[in-house]
Amino acid sequence: MVINTAAKLYLPLIVALALSIAVYINFQNYRPKILTRIQEIKGYKTYNIGLPYPQNSEKIAYTETSESKQITFRTTRTLKDVHDFYKNVLFNNGWEVESETDDSTHILTKYKKDKEYTTVLAVEQEPGITIASVEITER
């Protein structure tokens, strides 16, 4: 009878220990799915401000109001490359420079054509990375 009482006492402990070991081994062998990085988040529509973007640009934000449209993007092009890109595009479409500010960290250029204004701001975020914003406003 003593053996029977001891077996009843230790059996639940042995089962709990075996179950704990099985759960631990299962947890150690668990390998979650490797998530892939999303390069660009795509919405249900493509935004267009009527101007091209430099090649290999990553869109960051788009804003549209009743008076303006603005796109912000990241690129590996230099400040001067972004400035020259939009200067060529806008000059070829009849735009004129209204004002320009240029220093080592940013270039701000305002263009005008009839009742429309385009502002191009390029800022060096870090060496090799430029953040640019293009806004078209009707007045």
The domains found in the chain, sorted by start residue, are 58-138 (3.30.310.80)
pLDDT bin (cut points 50, 70, 90) of residue 36 is low
d(CA 117, CA 129): 26
Say if CB 68 and CB 62 are below 8 A apart. Answer: no
d(CA 49, CA 93): 14
Residue that wins the pLDDT comparison between 3 and 87 = 87
d(CA 90, CA 119): 11
pLDDT tens figures, 42-96: 433 344 677 888 878 888 888 888 888 999 999 988 888 888 888 988 888 889 9
pLDDT tens figures, 92-132: 888 999 999 988 889 999 999 988 999 999 999 888 899 99
Q: Is the pTM of this model over 0.85?
A: no
Question: Residue 139 above 60 pLDDT?
Answer: yes
